[in-house]
Chains A and B, each alone.
Chain A
Amino acid sequence: MGRPRGFDEEVVTAAAAELFAGRAYDGVSVDDLVQQLGVHRNSLYKTFGSKRGLYLAALRWHLDHRLPPLTEQLAAGAEVADDPALDLLLLAAVERAPRDVEVAALVTKAWQELDQALQRAPANHTDGTRSTALNALLGERLRARATAATTDPS
């Protein structure tokens, strides 16, 4: 482990977050990671330990760097249902959180932060419990993703 890694860990982690936001965890192979992140296989294993290790690092990076701007927008009352920043969280909630307690904890933390941001929003049009707004937002994002898939010919 004394050898220099020869790549920027943060850049790789950010790129991995993008990759994992686009498709299912099992749909991203180590071959995909090696090719798209431009990192040698051995370095990936040495640095992150496993695909799951890289995934967790990517999810943490997302919470630290992508979530704060999103919560700021939400708190300012902006519409964010077309923001792909929610996608990694949605995918994590659906496929990884039920089988991985660390992912579940991170997703829960993200929901809490989004909940709080929605509470601070000026045009808080919810009349029910505070998570209603978040549920609506996540549902909207899911529907927006599905719509994008049907209108995009690629």
Chain B
Amino acid sequence: MASVRIDGDDLVVEIEGMDRLWSLKSRLVIPLANVRGATADPGIAAEPKGLRAPGTSLPGVITAGTFHQDGERVFWNIRDGSRAVVIELADEHYARLVVEVVDPAATVALIEKAVLR
């Protein structure tokens, strides 16, 4: 599970609990200027994730870490994916982040509002 918040001009994504171990990353800080948008997307869990490096993938249990697909680098941290949110980035290390949050609709609203300013 991840917590997503806005801190000044940054989007801060914090990976909580044991999940940070599996994704080998506990915190991502992205300038809001490089955030293109956010979408609640439970269906993305069923998509092929590409090549994992580095990170953890236990199909059906957890997908966490950096995955490479179609020349893009995507950060994943989801379990069943039912509460997955996709955060699309520009000019960042990652093309997008796919993280599981407690309240996808609230997270999407938070990011959209911050990006709109």
Give chain A's interface residues, CB within 8 Å of chain B: 3, 29-31, 34, 41-42, 45-46, 48-53, 99-102
Name the residue on A nearest B41 (C-beta): A30
Question: CA A49 – CA B36 in complex, angstroms?
Answer: 5
Q: Which 3 A-B pairs have the closest CB atoms?
A: A50-B37, A49-B36, A31-B43
Q: Which residues of A contact B36 (CB under 8 A)?
A: 49-50, 53
Name the residue on A nearest B42 (C-beta): A29
Q: Which residues of B contact A49 (CB under 8 A)?
A: 36-37, 88
Least Cβ distance of B30 to chain A in Å? 14
Least Cβ distance of B106 to chain A in Å? 12
Q: Which residues of A contact B108 (CB under 8 A)?
A: 50
Interface of B is mostly: mixed
B44: CB under 8 A from chain A?
yes
Least Cβ distance of A32 to chain B in Å? 9
Contact A30 B95, beta carbon cutoff 8 Å: no
Contact B43 A29, beta carbon cutoff 8 Å: yes
Identify which of A29, A31, A42, A48 contacts B70 (C-beta below 8 A). Answer: A42
Least Cβ distance of A21 to chain B in Å? 20
Contacts A45-B96, A46-B95; A102 near B116 (Cβ below 8 A): yes
Contact A52 B41, beta carbon cutoff 8 Å: no
Contacts A3-B71, A45-B39, A45-B96; A52 near B44 (Cβ below 8 A): no
Residues in B23-74 with C-beta less than 8 Å from chain A: 36-44, 47, 69-72
Contact B112 A30, beta carbon cutoff 8 Å: no
B86: CB under 8 A from chain A?
yes
Name the residue on A nearest B43 (C-beta): A31
Question: CA A49 – CA B86 in complex, angstroms?
Answer: 9
Question: CA A34 – CA B39 in complex, angstroms?
Answer: 13
**Contact flags (1/0) for B4-40 with A, using CB distance below 8 Å?**
0000000000000000000000000000000011111
Q: Which residues of B contact A30 (CB under 8 A)?
A: 39, 41, 43-44, 86
Question: CA A116 – CA B96 in complex, angstroms?
Answer: 43
Question: CA A34 – CA B41 in complex, angstroms?
Answer: 11
Q: Which residues of B contact A29 (CB under 8 A)?
A: 41-43
Contacts A42-B70, A42-B72; A52 near B39 (Cβ below 8 A): yes
